[in-house]
Amino acid sequence: MGRIYLSPPHMTDVERSLLLGAFDANWVAPVGPDLDAFEREFAARQGVPHAVALSSGSAALHLGLLVAGVQAGDAVIVPTFTFAATANSVRYCNADPVFVDSERATWNADPALVAAAVEDCQRRGRRVGAIVTVDLYGQCADHAPIRALCDAHGIPLIEDAAEAVGATWAGRPAGAWGDIGVFSFNGNKIMTTGGGGMLTSADPAIVDRVRHLSTQAREPALHYEHKVLGFNYRLSNPLAAIGRGQVQRLSEMIDRRSTIRDRYLAALGELPGISFNPIDDRGTANHWLTVVVLGDNSACSPTELITALDSVDIEARPAWKPMHLQPLYADAPCHGGEVAADIFSRGVCLPSGSSMTDDDLERVINTAQSVLSA
Ligand SMILES: *Cc1c(COP(=O)(O)O)cnc(C)c1O
């Protein structure tokens, strides 16, 4: 019995033959037909007009903020409950994150606190360069009021949908609520290229500028001509070939993760003090990770659950540690923070990978049941 990981890659012969096809054609470079096809096919699957494939979700966030016009010294509103990459990208632009807490309904940015943060920045004479929303654990934020706020104030909205490929909110796909959408294909995400990302937009000019900046901003000249600062952030063609296979299989992978969540709910949901990351029926989630929340009267602590699972070779992890509790961001302001801190102190991410077999799932459930019902 091998170790059961939290969210390992799920590869099949589909990805393997596409990867070998790229290799055999010698398109082993950050340019090639699979790269172009991956962008087209991803955009079509995701329901967005334009997409550019990049070396990571972090690169997509960085370039997204830059082309949105974020300048050094700007304030950028960011949810505190997220992975560090979201906030770090703000610092890459020499701008300052202003954190906002989550709401209970979605665990994502509380729209009222986003509005309060914008107002507070304006009162202090701080320019708000952008608002970043995050679609955590595969569920979208409540975007309608945030989108309206951005429109009213002329503030660009960057949607960090790194965890939310294939999810929707109020009928609109993840990523499409933002002026710019950002996706990650890191090894632990719902679909992976082994490392990679995508930036999407309805505005072709934005995507063209990002493509330009991602290839060291080379001007169209025979010699090497540069007018602006560029980056080497383009995805490689063989990795894009893997991504094409993952796009084809995305729906089945989402279905499997949804089934895994249902099984956890059925097996553990009635135990004392146990609840799960909420799924709001205004959207459809991709169920990237199922997070169990241990209440006051649960039979063990999050650390005890993680340790018990680890002792039988099963990986589980705490929920994201909020940014306002990170030493790196000790100086950054945060509006609220108690909700994210509470989820962090009680939440445990359970193995949720789509390649998990029914036997794997039973192993996780049996161990979790034994410590949670003690
Ligand atoms: C994974 C992730 C990222 C970063 O993506 P990489 O491809 O790992 O750079 C950004 N934001 C969130 C919310 C993520 O989960």
Q: How far apart are CA 53 and CA 368, in angstroms?
A: 39
- Does the structure show a pLDDT above 90 at 1? no
Q: In terms of CATH architecture, what is 250-372?
A: Alpha-Beta Complex (3.90)
For residues 323-342, average pLDDT: 98
Q: What is the pLDDT of residue 259?
A: 98
For residues 334-347, average pLDDT: 98
Report which of 81, 73, 74, 76 is spatially closest to residue 336, judged by C-alpha positions.
Answer: 81
For residues 200-205, average pLDDT: 98
Confidence of residue 32 (pLDDT cuts 50, 70, 90): very high
Is the CB of residue 214 below 6 angstroms from any atom belonging to ligand 1? no
Q: In the chain, what are the domain boundaries?
A: 13-248, 250-372
Which amino acid is residue 28, in one-letter code?
A: V
pLDDT tens figures, 72-105:
999 999 999 999 999 999 999 999 999 999 999 9
Confidence of residue 245 (pLDDT cuts 50, 70, 90): very high
Counting from 1 in the atom list of ligand 1, the atom nearest the Cα of 197 is 7
Is the CB of residue 186 below 6 angstroms from any atom belonging to ligand 1? yes
Q: What is the DSSP annotation of 291-318?
A: EEEE-TTSSS-HHHHHHHHHHTTB--EE
Confidence of residue 186 (pLDDT cuts 50, 70, 90): very high
CB-based contact 347:276 (threshold 8 Å): no
Q: How many CB atoms lie within 10 A of CB 367?
A: 20
Q: What is the whole-number distance in angstroms between the Cα of residue 222 and the centre of ligand 1?
A: 36
Q: Alpha-carbon dihedral of residues 277, 259, 274, 101, nearest 10 degrees?
A: 0
For residues 215-243, average pLDDT: 96
CA distances, 38 to each of 14, 44, 183, 315 (Å):
14, 10, 13, 31
Q: What is the pLDDT of residue 92?
A: 98
CB-based contact 171:144 (threshold 8 Å): no
Q: What is the whole-number distance in angstroms between the Cα of residue 57 and the centre of ligand 1?
A: 5
List phi, psi (to 5°) of 347. Answer: -90, 140
Q: What is the pLDDT of residue 75?
A: 98
Distance of CA 161 to the CA centre of its chain: 5
pLDDT-above-70 percentage for the chain: 100
Is the CB of residue 159 below 6 angstroms from any atom belonging to ligand 1? no
Q: What is the pLDDT of residue 106?
A: 98
- Does the structure show a pLDDT above 90 at 235? yes
Counting from 1 in the atom list of ligand 1, the atom nearest the Cα of 61 is 10
Is the CB of residue 56 below 6 angstroms from any atom belonging to ligand 1? yes
Beta bridge partners of 284: 168
CB-based contact 146:116 (threshold 8 Å): no
Task: State the SS3 of 154-223.
Answer: CCCEEEECCCCCCCEECCEECCCCCCEEEEECCCCCCCCCCCCEEEEECCHHHHHHHHHHCECCECCCCC
The two tokens of residue 312 are: 């039988």
Q: What is the pLDDT of residue 293?
A: 98
Rounded to two decimals, the pTM is 0.98
Residue 10 CA neighbour count, 13 Å, CB half: 25
Is the CB of residue 193 below 6 angstroms from any atom belonging to ligand 1? no
The rounded mean pLDDT for the chain is: 97
- Is 13-248 in CATH node 3.40.640.10? yes
pLDDT tens figures, 205-224:
999 999 999 999 999 999 99
CB-based contact 31:190 (threshold 8 Å): no
Is the CB of residue 85 below 6 angstroms from any atom belonging to ligand 1? yes
Q: How many CB atoms lie within 10 A of CB 66?
A: 19
The two tokens of residue 186 are: 């890191």
Is the CB of residue 39 below 6 angstroms from any atom belonging to ligand 1? no
Q: What is the pLDDT of residue 85?
A: 98
